[in-house]
Each structure stands twice: as C-alpha cells, then as structure tokens.
C-alpha cells in the first residue's frame, strides 16, 4: 500500500467523521447558537481535512495551492458568517435554550420597538452606555 494513499484515506475518514458530527450537532442541539457552534467549527475542520486529502492525492503544486486557498477562505469566512448570523438571531429575539443562564448583551441595545419610524423595525446600533461594562 502506498503511503500517500494511506494518509489521504485517513484524512478523508477523519474529515467524514467530523462532518457527520457537525450535521448531527445541527439537528440535536437545542438552540440556534449551539447549532451554529456545531456547524461552523466541526464542519470547517471536516471540509478542510477533505481538501487536504485532495491536495495530498494529486501531489501537484497547483492543486495544493488551490485546495489550501479554499481551506483558508473557509477559515476566514466561517467565523464572520457565524458572528453576523448570531447577531441577527439575537436581534430577531430567537429564543435561547431555557437553561442558558447568561445574557451579557441584555439591555445593551435598544429594543426593536424603539426603532425610529421608517426604520422597518430595525434595532438601533448604538450600545447603551448607562450600563457599565464588566
């Protein structure tokens, strides 16, 4: 057995395991924020491992650069997408899990109802300075 193929196969299997775990997490977790945690981190790692397997199998510099570009791009964009989506979910008052005790953003933003008329119910962006930061 070829060592290159062996390493690529192991990378593929580990990536498949991570991807499967992230999909199961998206279905099983009770909360948007926890689902985001599963989808973003485990999914990115699984896809990155599979791209690494592709770059090892072909053994060509162009292919390696290409797959690393995809992985780097995923690594850059996944946290940004998760952050933007989590903030939107918080603004939209998506209910948290009932056993989540901590909400450090509570009261730091104006309520959606206080938005200026014509703003389509969009919340004000400014933070509430009356509450001291911890």
Partner 1 sequence: MILFEGPWTFLSVATLVTMVAVAVSILVASLRVMRGPSLPDRVVALDLVGLLAVSVISVVAIATQKPVLLDAAIALALIAFLSTVAFARFIEWQGERAE
61 binds partner 1 (CB under 8 A): no
- 8 A C-beta contact, residue 128 and residue 107: yes
- Say how far residue 36 (Cα) sits from the centre of its chain: 5
73 binds partner 1 (CB under 8 A): yes
91-100, long-range: CB < 8 A, 24+ apart: 91/123, 94/32, 96/31, 96/33, 97/30, 97/31, 97/34, 100/31
For the segment 14-43, give every residue that binds partner 1 (CB under 8 A). 15-17, 19-20, 22-24, 26-27, 32, 35-36, 39-40, 43
Q: How far is the CB of 52 from partner 1 (least distance, A)?
A: 9
Q: For tokens 């775990």, what's the residue?
A: 21
Q: How far is the CB of 134 from partner 1 (least distance, A)?
A: 25
Residue 43, token pair as written in the block: 């999914």
105 binds partner 1 (CB under 8 A): no
Give dist(CA 14, CA 119) in Å, integer: 48
> In the complex, which residues of this chain contact partner 1 (CB under 8 A)?
1-2, 5-6, 8-10, 12-13, 15-17, 19-20, 22-24, 26-27, 32, 35-36, 39-40, 43-44, 46-47, 50-51, 53-54, 57-58, 60, 62-63, 66-67, 69-70, 73-74, 77-78, 80-81, 84-85, 87-89, 91-95, 112-113, 115, 120-123
């Amino acid at each position: 057995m070829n060592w290159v193929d062996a390493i690529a196969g192991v990378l593929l299997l580990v990536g498949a395991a991570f991807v499967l775990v992230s999909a199961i997490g998206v279905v099983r977790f009770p909360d948007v924020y926890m689902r985001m945690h599963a989808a973003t981190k485990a999914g990115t790692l699984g896809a990155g491992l599979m791209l690494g397997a592709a770059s090892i199998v072909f053994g060509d510099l162009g292919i390696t650069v290409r797959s690393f570009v995809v992985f780097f791009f995923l690594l850059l964009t996944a946290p940004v997408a998760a952050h933007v989506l989590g903030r939107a979910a918080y603004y939209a008052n998506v209910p948290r899990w009932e056993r989540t005790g901590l909400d450090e953003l509570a009261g730091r933003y104006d309520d959606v109802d206080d938005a200026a008329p014509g703003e389509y119910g969009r919340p004000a962006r400014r933070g509430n300075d009356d509450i001291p930061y911890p």
